[in-house]
Amino acid sequence: MARYRLTVEYDGGPYRGFQAQADLPTIQGEIERAVAAFSGETVRVHAAGRTDTGVHATGQVIHFDLVRDWDPRVVMNAVNAHLLPAPIAILSAGLAAENFHARFSAVGRRYLYRILGRPGPPALERGRVWHVRAPLDAAAMHAAAQRLVGPHDFTTFRDAACQARSPVKTLDEAAVARRDEEVIVTFAARSFLHRQVRSMVGSLAEVGRGVWTADDLAAALAARDRAACGPVAPAQGLCLVEVVY
């Protein structure tokens, strides 16, 4: 029995999230089908993060076990071949220790959110950015985002369906920067609550529009009340870019 660790990139647009669901297209379902097609084995794929419907990844990490020992390069190439034409790609593959777990061994995750701020909608980047017509003040957003850094009760930015045992998380990094017409928002933490990143981005956008101040954002956090959250940013701008072990 061998355990394989793979790094995966995907466009989440056509899928109902990562986690397998009966009769619905998912990232997990596609990868498990591809592994079975080349190996003849039925496997369960485990991921570092179960991304939501429409969320993308460039650095998702998964693992699965195979009875037969394959060269990791063969595994990568074979899975990629059977994934075509799905917008999912294995970027790297290697053997992992038998106690490695893509989710529970991770000590950090980094998400990036892209906001396109211009009057015209995206054509080439449609489905990969949040289009906001009004100009956003990235510097004000960055300053406000620092109020979220550290250990906090993030109930305000927690989806009602979140199954985490506690709303307390430690946000290690929050950064907002302008890149030409885009505003790039980055968050890093050991783990996140369900839709926490999209909730924080939506509230930061209110700061960028001048509707909220940094104090308003801090007050929303302190309220520990989902009703205090700003509009939740859409899924298409969000990407899981790194998992740290």
Catalytic residues: 52
Residues in the chain: 245
Helices marked H in 24-149: 27-39, 72-83, 138-145
Alpha carbons within 13 A on the beta-carbon side of 30? 25
Contact between residue 117 and residue 31 where contact means Cβ atoms under 8 Å apart: no
- Radius of gyration for the alpha carbons in the chain, expressed in angstroms and rounded: 19
Considering only CA atoms, which of 229, 142, 126 is closest in space to residue 185?
Answer: 142
C-alpha of 88 from chain center: 15
C-alpha of 163 from chain center: 17
65-82 burial string, b = 16+ CB within 10 Å, else e?
ebeeebebeebbebbbeb
From the number of C-beta atoms within 10 Å of its C-beta (0-12, 13-18, 19+), residue 184 rates as: middle
Residue 141: strand pairing partners: none
Q: List Cβ neighbours of 17 (8 Å cut-off, separation of 6 or more).
A: 26, 27, 50, 51, 52, 53, 55
Beta pairing, strands 56-66 & 238-244: parallel
